[in-house]
């Protein structure tokens, strides 16, 4: 009805008022230029006091308690022929897929000869599954993870053999023991691991779910849901015919499915991974909301939760799209993605060389809250921007993340690309890098002239799990001509600011608090003299005035943010 109105009255504005309740879908809602026309505005808006939910989930019912005290149920009929599922939610809260150990990690005893497909473990480290169907190895690298099936467990040799390479095939340094001789791992989805309340497993051969609950809890009194729809919204224009002016206001987007490749997920960085079995470029964990070749697509006061891939992606050709006053929570992959990487080919060359005007530009993320991303793929980031221009990320709160908060850039050299003038300002980033290493509250990569990192508050980086450092801000290879000003960084596992293979940049008026064993700024393969430093204040934890100065700095930052909000 709304689309037909736009077709009949081009240039008009049509509002679809959404009442309270759940709007179930089994496949994404697709908006294309041929249906909407070139002009006009389409708005999906919650009625006053309503909380509409666009849901790609399906509820599991028919629970019975078996002789072992576990609850079991068959999958709904619409799921019988699917490839399975990997997430289950009880009343909107993620339940743990049965794992061993329940907390913490096991450690590799020794990598196998090829350092790629197998390793040795200590005898008795974990219960040996009788059936390996569906059992998954979750292996942690420094800044990414692998999730991969198990081909064999040799109990005589105490050797675990995966179905494919553990870690990305390219780059070549993704070997089992490259970062640590005894890296971390755990195992998932075997009946032998189902020993804690609110754990579950899926037995694909029997098409049923097993769920362990406390003695007095009955699943029939809760809503047990699994994602079904592979994505929720697709806005898909064409290079010369973009989709324009679609707005979503006050809507919740919940439950979206993504199944890892048959040969496993081997992450590279920020939810980019080997596209097995193909060797062409890198793939990326898809988002529930995808917008490409689009302009002025906005999400205001929306909620995004319990999503099986990434959250939102403003991809190739996205211009002036916005996420404002919204919340993203419990996302399996990246929270928000803007722009793209290097791989797309235009006229026989990478797009950023042959068609730089196609760069995603003018996009905004503002006043939004992002937490618990990377629920499955720990190398995820809160907000990831690839090669983008004039992107503004401002006044957001990001916390409770396994890896980096905000990541901008996607070129491991100072080679020129369309990336430029990106602004990261006024964000509060804390309790991040909770699982992986070699990242930070803010991570910048590649040449992006006239970009600025301003007035951000970063703290709570306590884990330094792997070989590489975890920092407050990490400015990586090729960073040149960036202004780092007015930032407050404290309670960091290593240095508040780190440069790696960077050139000339300006660091001015920052407040850096560090412990006695780490410098406020670290320079890896970077000429310290090339980094201009003006009016920064450095405090070391052993100084008598440390706590007093930190309290004053936090108060000043909060006061400045309140003034911004009033404006």
Instruction: Name the residue among 474, 434, 438 with its Cα closest to residue 456.
Output: 474
**Which run of H or of E encompasses 2?**
helix 2-8
For the cut 70, the answer to whether the pLDDT of residue 130 exceeds it is yes
> The pTM is what?
0.96
pLDDT on residue 82: 56
Least confident segment among 150-154, 280-284, 487-491: 280-284
Instruction: Name the residue among 466, 464, 362 with its Cα closest to residue 145.
Output: 466
Confidence class for position 40, pLDDT limits 50, 70, 90: confident
> Rounded to a whole number, what is the distance in angstroms from the first to the last CA of the chain?
39
**Which run of H or of E encompasses 553?**
helix 546-566
Instruction: Please tell me the distance from the alpha carbon of residue 122 to that of residue 527, in angstroms, as a whole number.
Output: 45
**Three-state DSSP class for residue 102:** coil
CB 53 within 8 A of CB 232: no
What does the pLDDT look like over 342-382, one tens digit per residue? Answer: 999 999 999 999 999 999 999 999 999 999 999 999 999 99
Residue 214: phi and psi, rounded to 5, are -55, 160
For the cut 90, the answer to whether the pLDDT of residue 325 exceeds it is yes
How many Cβ atoms are within 10 Å of 399's Cβ, its own excluded? 18
Mean pLDDT of the chain: 94
- DSSP, res 186: E
Instruction: Please tell me the distance from the alpha carbon of residue 487 to that of residue 367, in angstroms, as a whole number.
Output: 18
CB 416 within 8 A of CB 447: yes
pLDDT on residue 1: 47
For the cut 90, the answer to whether the pLDDT of residue 12 exceeds it is no
How many Cβ atoms are within 10 Å of 139's Cβ, its own excluded? 25
Instruction: Please tell me the distance from the alpha carbon of residue 16 to that of residue 248, in angstroms, as a whole number.
Output: 10
Residue 510: phi and psi, rounded to 5, are -95, 160
Would you list the DSSP string of 109-172?
Answer: SEE-TTSSSEEE--TTSSPPPS--TT-EEEEE-SS-EEEEEEEEEETTTTEEEESS-SS-SSST
For the cut 50, the answer to whether the pLDDT of residue 567 exceeds it is yes
Instruction: Please tell me the distance from the alpha carbon of residue 279 to that of residue 283, in angstroms, as a whole number.
Output: 10
What domains can be seen in the chain, in order of their start residue?
63-225 (no CATH), 258-566 (2.160.20.10)
Instruction: Name the residue among 537, 523, 542, 407 with its Cα closest to residue 469.
Output: 523
Would you list the DSSP string of 356-390?
Answer: GGGSEES-EEES-EEEEE-SS-TT--SEEE-BEES
Residue with token string 């760069």 = 359
Mean pLDDT, residues 131-145 taken together: 96
Percent of the chain with pLDDT over 90: 89
Percent of the chain with pLDDT over 70: 96
CB 333 within 8 A of CB 358: no
For the cut 90, the answer to whether the pLDDT of residue 430 exceeds it is yes
CB 521 within 8 A of CB 531: yes
CB 158 within 8 A of CB 259: no
Confidence class for position 112, pLDDT limits 50, 70, 90: very high
Instruction: Please tell me the distance from the alpha carbon of residue 400 to that of residue 434, in angstroms, as a whole number.
Output: 7
Bridge pairing between strands 199-203 and 287-292: unpaired
For the cut 90, the answer to whether the pLDDT of residue 131 exceeds it is yes
Q: Which residues fall within 8 angstroms of residue 316, CB to CB, at 6 or more apart?
A: 292, 293, 339, 340, 344, 351, 358, 360
How many Cβ atoms are within 10 Å of 277's Cβ, its own excluded? 9
Confidence class for position 467, pLDDT limits 50, 70, 90: confident
Mean pLDDT, residues 235-244 taken together: 94
Instruction: Please tell me the distance from the alpha carbon of residue 61 to that of residue 400, in angstroms, as a whole number.
Output: 32
What does the pLDDT look like over 165-223, one tens digit per residue? Answer: 999 988 899 999 999 999 999 999 999 999 999 999 999 888 899 999 999 999 999 99
Instruction: Please tell me the distance from the alpha carbon of residue 461 to that of residue 449, in angstroms, as a whole number.
Output: 28
Mean pLDDT, residues 256-274 taken together: 95
**Which run of H or of E encompasses 565?**
helix 546-566
pLDDT on residue 4: 55
Would you list the DSSP string of 449-510?
Answer: TT-EEES-EEE-B----SSS--EEEEE-TT--S-EEES-EE-SBSS-SEEEES--SEEEES-
pLDDT on residue 410: 97
- DSSP, res 84: -
- DSSP, res 399: E
For the cut 70, the answer to whether the pLDDT of residue 80 exceeds it is no
**Which run of H or of E encompasses 552?**
helix 546-566
Bridge pairing between strands 360-361 and 364-366: unpaired
More confidently predicted of 76 and 28? 28
């Amino acid at each position: 009805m709304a689309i037909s109105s736009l077709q009949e009255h081009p240039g008009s504005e049509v509002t679809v008022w959404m009442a309270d309740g759940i709007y179930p879908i089994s496949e994404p809602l697709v908006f294309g230029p041929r249906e909407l026309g070139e002009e006009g505005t389409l708005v999906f808006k919650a009625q006053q006091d309503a909380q509409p939910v666009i849901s790609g989930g399906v509820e599991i019912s028919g629970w019975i308690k078996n002789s072992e005290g576990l609850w079991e149920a068959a999958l709904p009929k619409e799921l019988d022929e699917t490839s399975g599922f990997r997430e289950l939610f009880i009343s909107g809260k993620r339940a743990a897929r049965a794992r061993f150990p329940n907390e913490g990690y096991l450690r590799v005893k020794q990598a196998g000869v090829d350092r790629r497909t197998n390793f040795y473990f200590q005898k008795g480290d974990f219960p040996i599954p009788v059936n390996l169907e569906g059992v998954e190895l979750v292996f942690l690298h420094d800044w990414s993870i692998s999730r991969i099936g198990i081909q064999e467990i040799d109990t005589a040799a105490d050797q675990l053999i995966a179905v494919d390479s553990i870690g990305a095939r390219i780059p070549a340094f993704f070997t089992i023991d490259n970062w640590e001789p005894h890296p971390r791992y755990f195992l998932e989805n075997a009946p032998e691991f189902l020993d804690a309340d609110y754990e579950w497993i899926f037995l694909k051969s029997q098409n049923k779910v097993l769920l362990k609950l406390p003695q007095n809890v009955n699943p029939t009194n809760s809503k047990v849901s699994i994602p079904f729809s592979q994505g929720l919204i697709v806005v898909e224009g064409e290079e010369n015919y973009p989709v324009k002016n679609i707005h979503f206001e006050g809507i919740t987007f919940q439950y979206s499915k993504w199944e890892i490749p048959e040969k496993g997920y081997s992450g590279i960085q920020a939810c980019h991974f080997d596209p097995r079995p193909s060797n062409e470029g890198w793939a990326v964990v898809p988002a529930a909301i995808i917008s490409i070749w689009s302009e002025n697509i906005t999400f205001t006061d929306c909620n995004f939760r319990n999503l099986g891939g990434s959250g939102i992606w403003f991809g190739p050709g996205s211009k002036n799209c916005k996420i404002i006053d919204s919340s993203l929570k419990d996302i399996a992959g990246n929270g928000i993605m803007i722009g793209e990487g290097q791989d797309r080919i235009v006229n026989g060359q990478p797009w950023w060389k042959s068609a730089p005007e196609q760069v995603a530009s003018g996009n905004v993320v503002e006043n939004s809250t992002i937490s618990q991303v990377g629920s499955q793929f720990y190398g995820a980031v809160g907000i990831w921007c690839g090669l983008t221009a004039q992107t503004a990320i401002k006044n957001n709160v990001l916390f409770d993340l396994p890896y980096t908060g905000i990541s901008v850039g996607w070129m491991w050299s100072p080679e020129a690309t369309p990336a430029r003038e990106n602004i990261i300002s006024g964000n509060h980033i804390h309790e991040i890098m909770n699982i992986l290493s070699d990242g930070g509250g803010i991570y910048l990569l590649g040449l992006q002239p006239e970009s600025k990192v301003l007035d951000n508050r970063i703290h709570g980086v306590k884990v330094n799990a792997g070989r590489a450092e975890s920092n407050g801000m990490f400015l990586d290879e090729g960073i040149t001509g960036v202004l780092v000003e007015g930032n407050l960084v404290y309670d960091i596992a290593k240095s508040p600011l780190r440069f790696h293979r960077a050139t000339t940049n300006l660091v001015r008026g920052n407040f850096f608090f560090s412990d006695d064993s780490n410098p406020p700024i670290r320079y890896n393969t970077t000429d310290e003299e090339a980094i201009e430093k003006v009016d920064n204040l450095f405090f070391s934890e052993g100084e008598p005035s440390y706590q007093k100065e930190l309290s004053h700095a936090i108060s000043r930052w909060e006061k400045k943010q309140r003034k911004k909000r009033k404006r």
